[in-house]
A and B are shown apart, each in its own frame.
Chain A
């Protein structure tokens, strides 16, 4: 039996349910009860360590409480005790599918404090690496969506491409995931001479496979369409209200993209489109991700063509001691807006660092959208949000 207040609470949450739920009165009349189900933190489809407390009415979810914190590592507090350059490797451990973007966001915030001129070649290399990173995140996220729908194969095609990107990263930065490559004032080192060629051949290979492996294989599938279309359908207002950014927001039709709306680095010099879709459901978010991959390829090509010669590191002292004040940097990570806010007290270490991670904010969608859907719909909704454990828990 449900208590009176729970029922009131529940009707507020299950607004989009429209007709799927058993009427609570009917449920009480027949003495039917809901079951509580604990999904996670050890669960294969939870994108890391997420725990969902679900209340189920048969297969229908009545209530969904996401519990986070199983991967909390005090990243913000640790940053207060490390010198400015030494925080960069820590940012790699935030959203481990968007390491370059984390570094970039943090470095932008410090440079905002320092007021330093970045050499153009370094800026181009940063954008190049960030867009490769976006590919390395979007393509597996499409694979994960399919994996969670029960199709095991696309993830391996996705990881084949990610593996190629990682080998490029390895050649450039020396690491496959934890790069520590974008530094305050530039990047760690210039590109090795054979890298542009490697990236060109990778892009050629990707363009050849992309349509067949990630579009035709998936989009032409009736089951995929029926599992994703209309699932977690949001209006623009709802999406904005929930504070979503990135593909979950753009799939409702809001063309908000930090790269264009709050331009940073050399993005104003590059030509690309902001991808939006009108669906506002899981299928739309999939299409947005697919199209964004193609946009990233465009940006990578432009970067390679336009890349100027010159230094990759600004002339600056070895010791970084920003003046008192506040610095702010925001980048468009694959999952949405990644922002860093630093308060400096004029010493070697930041006084306070705050990360605004898109995984954490977009996760609000779960509590709002999951009730009223069936239990298996949670998986495509997770694919829509595409959160990363290291991101939401910091």
Chain B
């Protein structure tokens, strides 16, 4: 799709088309992911999962969306209506926007920003705002607690997330996603997940926390605060929140694949698919998404204090120490390289 966009010189048109493409992609991704989630969970749990709508149940997301469109949009009587209705949008937009800077293939990036990583950090931070808005706007004790948890968690885990990105930036010497991917080369042992293994793990764990999934789904905490910040939502507002969750999950997988697993680069040079290298990007993203789901259905949830301890006392020190090691190694080996 990027190759097509290259021929469009008019910037506004290019932007509009890019954004339409991103919206199309993200919404479909969210739908596909709901299906994947249900199937993966079903196979983990000795069930079949949805298998009634369409061939092998593949049309289930369509049925879900149709159902959600027909649902009434209920808002609590005492809610702060504007905040309540704006919150799902504030959650969805950041998750969709960052897709603009993700390189799918060498030329297929909708906006090759030279500060793509900074853009990613800045825009995903807005997601926490959406959670707080949802919790505050609903005027319910449960959602307030969920929002407070969400804000604390997302802000805390952004620190190790950003710190672990520093390692990538140092190695690649660039803030652009495209440059990072090119710098990783087309052999899997030169991808950054090996030299930056601790940071890869920290980034992976923090990104699970950022997208609020088990074991870090405290803002939802379905067993104690029953959905947390999204407890009062229904119909399409709820669907938008769900789409935001799945889109940000897909986004985090894509970012992990791009920054640590070599993006569109094939694992070995002879596996180069030329124009079809986006397949590699898709496979890597799907692999990370699958591990997200695997974890989601296997482990229990942490408690708030344990979550904070883990973030600040384990992840941040590990990243800082390893950052120092990387810097030292780069300084020492600079002459060799």
Chain A residues engaging chain B, CB cutoff 8 angstroms:
35-39, 43-45, 56, 59, 146-153, 156-157, 160, 221, 223-224, 226-227, 374-379
Contact = CB atoms under 8 A, between A and B. Distances in A.
Nearest to A45: B223
Nearest to A217: B298
B222 interface: yes
A39 B221 CA distance: 14
Interface string B28-65: 00000000000001001111000000000000000000
14 contacts: A37-B141, A38-B141, A43-B226, A44-B223, A56-B145, A59-B145, A147-B223, A149-B301, A150-B217, A150-B223, A157-B46, A223-B299, A224-B299, A375-B145
Given A150-B217, A227-B306, 15 more contacts: A39-B224, A44-B222, A45-B224, A56-B145, A59-B145, A150-B223, A150-B299, A152-B41, A153-B298, A221-B300, A223-B302, A227-B301, A227-B303, A376-B301, A378-B224
B303 A153 contact: no
A377 B298 CA distance: 20
A38 B299 CA distance: 28
A156 B46 contact: yes
Nearest to B227: A44
A46 to B, nearest CB: 10
Contacts of B303: 226-227, 374, 376-377
Contacts of B47: 156
Contacts of B306: 226-227
A150 B145 contact: no
Nearest to B41: A152
Nearest to A43: B226
A111 to B, nearest CB: 42
Contacts of B262: none
A223 B303 CA distance: 9
Interface string B90-110: 000000000000000000000
B293 to A, nearest CB: 12
Interface of B: 41, 44-47, 141-142, 144-145, 149, 214-215, 217-218, 221-226, 297-306
A218 to B, nearest CB: 9
Listed from nearest, the 5 A-B pairs whose CB atoms lie closest are A150-B301, A149-B300, A151-B300, A156-B45, A45-B223
B297 A153 contact: yes
A160 B44 CA distance: 13
Most buried by B among A59, A150, A221, A378: A150
A210 to B, nearest CB: 16
A151 B299 contact: yes
A281 to B, nearest CB: 14
Contact of B222 (A35, A37, A150, A375): A150
Nearest to A218: B300
Contacts of B44: 153
A376 B304 contact: yes
Contacts of B226: 43-44
A151 B298 contact: yes
Given A151-B298, A224-B300, A227-B300, A379 B141 contact: no
A37 B45 CA distance: 33
Nearest to B141: A37
Contacts of A377: 303
Contacts of B45: 152-153, 156-157
Given A35-B141, A156-B46, A157-B46, A221 B221 contact: no
A379 B224 contact: yes
